[in-house]
Amino acid sequence: MPEDFSDRFWAWYATDEYRLVLDVCELIKALEFLQAPASVQSSQIPYCPACETWSTMMLPVNSFLEKFQTDLSPPLREALCTVWLLSNELPEGAFRCDDFEMFHAASWAALRSAASEALRCLGWEGLQLHIEEVMAECHRALHSRKSK
């Protein structure tokens, strides 16, 4: 039986691999945003929606893929690659600076679906309730290591 990614997440957490755990948490937060309805997306972005979405929600997917490319199950790798591909293929009309209505474009539907699939592959259902608390703990632990 293949390892469930959430098992790996909790193993990293149990062994104080805070940077790895935080990488997963940041990916999950990005995917949660990308799979959210348009109304939620447009209300969560404070500034330029295209720039903010690209830098804080789409680039983390690529960073995660680059960092963990050999450590991902084929379904998870495929799901994340699909999210990254669809992020890059959004037409100009669906990805414009200062256009908070961009999230309502029909081309976002496939990206939302792909992000949902990636979350499923990550074991999001079992991790979802813990992400905020785990992220805060990882930030505290990493910050305290730097100050020593």
Interval 93-115: pLDDT, tens: 899 999 999 999 999 999 999 99
pTM of the model: 0.91
Angle subtended at Cα 101 by Cα 96 and Cα 102, rounded to the nearest 5 degrees? 40
Range of the domain at 122: 5-147
Greatest alpha-carbon span in the chain: 50
Give residue 143's pLDDT band: very low, low, confident or very high (50, 70, 90).
Answer: confident
pLDDT at 71 (0 to 100)? 82
Q: What percent of the chain has a predicted confidence (pLDDT) above 70?
A: 95
Structure tokens at 132: 């905020």
pLDDT at 126 (0 to 100)? 87
pLDDT at 1 (0 to 100)? 34
Give residue 4's pLDDT band: very low, low, confident or very high (50, 70, 90).
Answer: confident
pLDDT at 27 (0 to 100)? 95
pLDDT at 2 (0 to 100)? 47
Domains contained in the chain, number = 1
> Per-residue pLDDT for 17 more than 60?
yes
